[in-house]
Chains A and B, each alone.
Chain A
Amino acid sequence: MTMLNGLRWIEQGVLALSGGVLFYFGYCLKREARLDFERLGALVFILAGALGSISNLAGLVFHGTPGYLVAAVGREILTLTPLIAIVWLISGTFGLTAKKLLSLQAQVIETAQSAAVKDAVTGIDNHRAFQRQLEEEVARSGRYNRPLSLLMIDLDHFKTLNDTYGHPVGDAILRELSELIKQGLRTNDLLARFGGEEFSVLLPETTLEGARVVAERLRNCVLYHLFNLPGGHRAFISISVGVANLPIDARDKDGLIEMAEKALYFAKQNGRNRVGLHGEMLKAHFAEDQGSLEVVLRDSKLSVMRNIGLAIDAKTPFTFGHTDQVVRLAMSFAKFLKLDPAEVESLRIASLLHNIGLMNAPENVLNKPGPLTLEERKIIQAHPTLAELLLKDAPRLDGVLPAILYHHERWDGNGYPKGLHGEDIPFLARVLAIAEAYQAMISTRPYRRRLSDDEAIEELHQCAGKQFDPQLVQSFVQVLNKTGLPP
C-alpha cells in the first residue's frame, strides 16, 4: 500500500507538472495560431492543462480520500488529452486537405480557362477570344451607334526571319512584338494573335482617322525598335497594318475582318511597312480603273437592295422569291427590248425595290384571304408613294424612281397613285408592271389559286390595252415563248 501511495503521489506530481506544461504550450499555440482549428486546439490544451494541473496539485495538498478523488478527475482530463489532440488534428487535416484540393481545383480551372483564350507563344488573347470580343464590340457599337475600328497587323518578311534564324527566334520576335504593340495601345484596346504572324487590334470608340493615327504610331514604334533575339541576334523589323472601320467600311463582324484584311493586303502589295485603309484601297482601284469602283459600288449596293426585297417578300409566305423572279423576268424583257445599259440598270434596281413601300404594311393585310376593306386597300395602294418618299434622297436613283412610283398605273388611266394614262406612264414602269403582274399571277395568293403559265398569258392578252401597254404585252409573251421563263 505504501508503494502504491508513493506511486500515486508521484503520478499526481507528474500530472500536475504535465498540466502546467500543457497549459504553457497551449498558451504559446494560441498566440501563434493563424487558423480557426489551431486556435480551438490551443484553447482545449489550455483548459485541459489548467484543470489537470490544478486538480492534481489539490490532490497533493489535500492528501487523503477527498484529495485523491479530485486528483483522479484531473488525471482523467489529462489522459484524455491525446484523444482531444487526435480529434483536433483530424479536423485540421481534413480542413487543410479540403482547402488544398479547392485551391488545386481553382488552379486547374484557371489554367484551362487561360489556355482556352490565351495564345501559348505570346500570352495575349488568341483567335477564339478575339472573335468573341469582336462580336461583343460590334453589338455594342451597333447598340450605341458608336464607331469601332479594327487593325490587322502583319509582320513583314517573317517567313525569311523564321527560315534564317529558326522558329525559336521567330517565336521570340512574336513575343517581343506583342509586348511592343501592347505598350502602344490604350487600356481599352484589345490585342490578340489572329494567327501565324498576324495580330489584330480592336479599337472601340475609335473613328477611322483615330485608328489610322494609332496604326501609324504602332508602325513607327516597331520600325525603330531593335529586337534582341536569342543567340545574340539583333534585328530591325517592320509591320504592315490594314485598317477598317464600322460602320464606314462594313456593317457586321465578318465584313469588318474582311475589309481590314483587304486593307492589309493592299498595304503589303504597296511595298509593306505601311498602313493601308480600306477607303484608300478603293480610291486606288478607282484611279487605276474608273470602271472598277463603279462595279464595286454597284455590286454592294445591289446586294443591299436585294436583301431589302427579300426581307419584304419574307413578310408573307405567298410572296417568297417574288422579288428575285421579277428581276429575272424584267432583265429578260429588257434584253429582248434591247434597252440601253443605263435603262437596264434602272429597271434592275426598280425591280429589286418596287415593293419597298410595303415594308410598313401590316402582315394581316398582306395575308388576308378575303377582299380588302377600303382602308386596307388604301394601305396597299400607298406603297408606291411610300417607296418614293423612302428613296427620293438616295443618290443615283433618278431614273429608278418613276418606274417604282408608277408601276401600278394602268393603260386605261384607272391605276394608282396618279391615274396616269397610256404613254404618260413612264416606259420602265410599264415594263415593270407587266413583269410584276405576270409573276404575281403565276404565284399563289391568299385570295386566289395560282394561274398556269397559259392562263396567265391569256390574262395578259385580255388586259392588254386596259391594264397593260398592248405592244409591250406582245413583246413580253414573245420573251416567255422564247426563253421559257419562269423557271
Chain B
Amino acid sequence: MDLENIIGVMNATALTIAALTAALVILPVGQDSVGDKRVWMMLIGLCLILAVRAVLQIMDSVWIQEVCALLGIGAGILIPWMAWKLHGDIRHKAESRKTG
C-alpha cells in the first residue's frame, strides 16, 4: 500500500466519522443549527460518497478508477453548490442581525 492509499484510508475514516457526528449530533438540534437542513444532508451524503471513493481508490481495477474519477467530478460540482448555499445562509443571517 503506497502513501496515496494510506491517505485515502485516513480520508475515508475522517469523512465517515464527520458524517456520523453530523447525523447524530447536529440534525436533532433542528432549526437551531447553522445553515439549511438540506445543506447538512448534502454534506453528510458527500462525506459518505467521498469516503467510499477514498476506499475504492486503493483497488487497481481500471473501471473502479473510472468510477472514482466520476465521483471526483461529482464532488467538484457539489462542493461549489454547498459553498453557495452556505454563503446564502450566512448572508441571510447577517441581514437579519442588521435589521434586528
Count, chain A residues at interface, CB 8 A: 43
Alpha-carbon distance between A81 and B47 when the two chains are bound, in angstroms: 9
Tell whether, in the assembled complex, residue B80 and residue A32 are in contact, meaning their CB atoms are under 8 Å apart. Answer: no
| B residues 71-100 in Cβ contact with A at 8 Å | 72-73, 75-77, 79-80, 82-84, 86-87, 90-91, 94, 97
Stretch from A84-92, A287-295, A402-410, A460-468 at the B interface: A84-92
Count, chain B residues at interface, CB 8 A: 45
Tell whether, in the assembled complex, residue B40 and residue A89 are in contact, meaning their CB atoms are under 8 Å apart. Answer: yes
Query: Which residues of A sit under 8 angstroms from B32, Cβ to Cβ?
Result: 93, 96-97, 100
Tell whether, in the assembled complex, residue B34 and residue A92 are in contact, meaning their CB atoms are under 8 Å apart. Answer: yes
Tell whether, in the assembled complex, residue A18 and residue B76 are in contact, meaning their CB atoms are under 8 Å apart. Answer: yes
Alpha-carbon distance between A45 and B85 when the two chains are bound, in angstroms: 13
| A residues 1-26 in Cβ contact with B at 8 Å | 1, 3-4, 7-8, 10-11, 14-15, 17-18, 21-22, 25-26
Query: Which residues of A sit under 8 angstroms from B77, Cβ to Cβ?
Result: 14, 18
Q: How far is the CB of A96 from chain B (nearest CB, A)?
A: 6
Alpha-carbon distance between A22 and B84 when the two chains are bound, in angstroms: 8
**Prevailing SS type, chain A contact patch:** helix
Stretch from A71-79, A249-257, A387-395 at the B interface: A71-79
Tell whether, in the assembled complex, residue B62 and residue A4 are in contact, meaning their CB atoms are under 8 Å apart. Answer: yes
| B residues 42-72 in Cβ contact with A at 8 Å | 43-44, 46-47, 50, 53-54, 62, 65-66, 69-70, 72
Alpha-carbon distance between A90 and B34 when the two chains are bound, in angstroms: 8
Alpha-carbon distance between A88 and B70 when the two chains are bound, in angstroms: 27
Tell whether, in the assembled complex, residue B83 and residue A79 are in contact, meaning their CB atoms are under 8 Å apart. Answer: no
Beyond contacts A45-B83, A86-B21: 13 other A-B pairs, Cβ-Cβ < 8 A, are A1-B62, A3-B66, A15-B72, A22-B80, A26-B83, A32-B90, A33-B94, A72-B4, A76-B7, A79-B53, A81-B83, A89-B40, A93-B34
Q: Which residues of A contact B (CB under 8 A)?
A: 1, 3-4, 7-8, 10-11, 14-15, 17-18, 21-22, 25-26, 28-29, 32-34, 38, 41, 45, 49, 72, 75-76, 78-83, 85-87, 89-90, 92-93, 96-97, 100
- 25 pairs from A and B in contact (CB 8 Å cutoff): A18-B77, A18-B80, A22-B80, A29-B87, A33-B94, A34-B94, A34-B97, A38-B90, A49-B83, A76-B11, A78-B75, A79-B72, A79-B75, A80-B15, A82-B43, A83-B14, A85-B86, A86-B18, A89-B34, A89-B35, A89-B43, A90-B21, A90-B26, A93-B32, A96-B32
